[in-house]
């Protein structure tokens, strides 16, 4: 185990919103009880001022750093960024990472048992939004005794959640680090999500979402993952990684077998994904991403949507990201600057596409560590409360 790792970690759970109350959802329904799975790293200061909330992307979970057991072959999904001396330095900060509402890694979602029926929710699970996810996270943060987060941070859908946090709870966040994200998903992004959903629902094993206890719609989910994975890469990264090289053969097969390395890679990604993710969660979470829109479907400007924000910002984009292109990140920075907020905006040159935020720690570590140190130091000297 690496010396810069947070070491062995455990998944914790927090259950709240028991009936008859429940968690109110934007769709008009209520949900309860609600469980959020989460992990924490580092120690909380006595005044609870050093808490950083890490928010995951579409297929992530609460296991952001460290190892679940001594023989665990892989650390958490953002281990390169969280730990002693890393960007989110656990010698200084108390880091929290929850699995989102609607997920399938310990948090309440469509694969959870509905207490009213004793069976998995399936499609009876109510529609959820990014706002609902954040409302559930706020309950967790309150439960931990934290009145004000030092920072919220995340990439992709995690960045959307960070933006929701600073708009929904402007007095509860000192700083935000949205990475490779947008104030609303593009039409192209919605289109890719819909094709993925249709692949799942076209699988005969999907059975109208009621497949629990039987064979899951693994083929449909694998195809959805293959489609999504293409959007996470760039043309340049695929050219460098695969080119037109053949897979385990010297000549073309002239049939529908896997000829090219890139085909084999996508098949592998799709296959391993079905071992850890629930198809219905994929449907619900991608729909939540589609629904997210700070401008409320164009009924207000982005500047107006961010008018109550008080946090300082570090916004990071990547030059080859075509799913959440740099221009969308810059739109957020420009709208925030219109309110004279402290905003740093950076485009990192990378050939790796959208996935760069998960793969390239160097520049991100430099930017984030300096930014968080600035925010933490300002608070310590009493200058950062607005």
Long-range contacts of 260-265 (CB under 8 A, 24+ apart): 262/238, 265/241
Q: Which of 152-156, 188-192, 223-227, 296-300 has the weakest average pLDDT?
A: 296-300
Arithmetic mean of pLDDT over the chain: 96
Nearest Cα to Cα of residue 277 among 56, 10, 72, 59: 59
CATH code matching the domain that covers 12-188+292-379, chosen among 3.40.50.300, 2.30.110.10, 1.20.1560.10, 3.40.50.1820: 3.40.50.1820
Kindly tell me if the per-residue pLDDT of 191 is higher than 80: yes
Inform me whether the pLDDT recorded for 68 exceeds 80: yes
**Of residues 321, 350, 355, 384, which has the active-site annotation?**
321
Q: Can you give the C-alpha Rg of the chain in angstroms?
A: 21
- pLDDT, one tens digit per residue, over 257-299 is 899 999 999 999 999 999 999 999 999 999 999 999 999 999 9
| 59, 196 Cβ separation under 8 angstroms | no
Whether 321 sits among the annotated catalytic residues: the reply is yes
By percentage, how much of the chain surpasses pLDDT 70? Answer: 97
Between CA 58 and CA 68, with CA 63 as vertex, the angle to 5 degrees is: 145
- 65 falls in which pLDDT band (50, 70, 90)? very high
Cβ neighbours of 347 (radius 10 Å): 16
Split at pLDDT 50, 70, 90, the class of 236 is very high
Phi/psi for 56 (5° steps) reads -90, 165
Cα(380)–Cα(373) distance, integer angstroms: 10
> Does 354 participate in catalysis according to the annotation?
yes
Q: pLDDT tens digits, residue range 139-166?
A: 999 999 999 999 999 999 999 999 999 9
Answer whether residue 3 shows pLDDT above 80: no
Separation of alpha carbons 360 and 379, rounded Å: 29
The residue among 90, 89, 9 whose CA lies nearest residue 42 is 90
Active site residue 290: no
CATH number 3.30.360.10 is the correct assignment for the domain at 190-287: no
Contacting residues for 315 by C-beta, under 8 A, at least 6 apart: 177, 178, 179, 329, 330, 332, 333, 343, 344, 345, 346
- Distance, CA of 58 to CA of 77 (rounded, Å): 12
User: Catalytic pick from 354, 355, 379, 384?
Assistant: 354
Closest by alpha carbon to 158, among 39, 17, 273, 58? 58
Q: In what order do the strands lie in the sheet with 343-348?
A: 12-16, 34-41, 94-98, 51-55, 151-155, 175-179, 312-318, 343-348
Predicted confidence band of residue 201 (pLDDT cuts 50, 70, 90) = very high
Full-model pTM: 0.96
- Catalytic residue, from 156, 234, 281, 312: name it: 156
Whole-angstrom Cα distance, residue 370 to residue 361? Answer: 14
Write out pLDDT tens, residues 5-32.
999 999 999 999 999 999 999 999 999 9
Per-domain residue ranges of the chain: 12-188+292-379, 190-287
């Amino acid at each position: 185990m690496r010396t810069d790792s947070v070491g062995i970690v455990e998944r914790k759970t927090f259950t709240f919103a028991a009936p008859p109350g429940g968690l109110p959802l934007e769709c008009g329904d209520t949900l309860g009880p609600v469980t959020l799975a989460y992990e924490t790293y580092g120690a909380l200061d006595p005044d609870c001022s050093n808490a950083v909330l890490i928010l995951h992307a579409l297929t992530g979970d609460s296991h952001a750093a460290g190892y679940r057991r001594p023989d665990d072959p892989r650390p958490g999904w953002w281990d390169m960024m969280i730990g002693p001396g890393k960007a989110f330095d656990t010698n200084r900060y108390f880091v929290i990472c929850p699995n989102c509402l609607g997920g399938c890694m310990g948090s309440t979602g469509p694969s959870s048992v509905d207490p009213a029926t004793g069976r998995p929710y399936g499609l009876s699970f109510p529609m959820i939004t990014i706002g609902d996810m954040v409302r559930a996270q706020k309950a967790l943060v309150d439960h931990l005794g934290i009145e004000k987060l030092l920072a919220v941070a995340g990439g992709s859908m995690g960045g959307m959640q960070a933006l929701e946090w600073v708009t929904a709870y402007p007095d509860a966040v000192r700083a935000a680090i949205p990475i490779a994200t947008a104030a609303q998903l593009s039409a192209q992004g919605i289109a890719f999500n819909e094709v993925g959903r249709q692949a799942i629902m076209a699988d005969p094993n999907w059975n109208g979402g009621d497949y629990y206890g039987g064979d899951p719609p693994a083929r449909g989910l694998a195809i959805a993952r293959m489609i999504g994975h293409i959007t996470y890469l760039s043309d340049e990264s695929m050219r460098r990684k695969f080119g037109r090289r053949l897979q385990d053969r010297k000549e073309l097969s002239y049939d529908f077998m896997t000829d090219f390395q890139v085909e084999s890679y996508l098949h592998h990604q799709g296959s391993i994904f079905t071992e850890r993710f629930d198809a219905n969660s994929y449907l619900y979470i991608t729909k939540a991403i589609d629904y997210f829109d700070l401008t409320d479907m164009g009924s207000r400007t982005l500047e107006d949507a961010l008018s109550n924000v008080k946090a300082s910002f570090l916004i990071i984009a990547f030059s080859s990201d075509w799913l959440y292109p740099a221009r969308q990140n810059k739109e957020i920075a420009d709208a925030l600057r219109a309110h004279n907020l402290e905003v740093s905006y950076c485009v990192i040159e990378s050939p790796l596409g959208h996935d760069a935020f998960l793969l390239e720690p160097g520049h991100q570590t430099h930017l984030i560590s300096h930014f968080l140190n600035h925010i933490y130091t300002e608070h310590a000297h009493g200058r950062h409360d607005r």
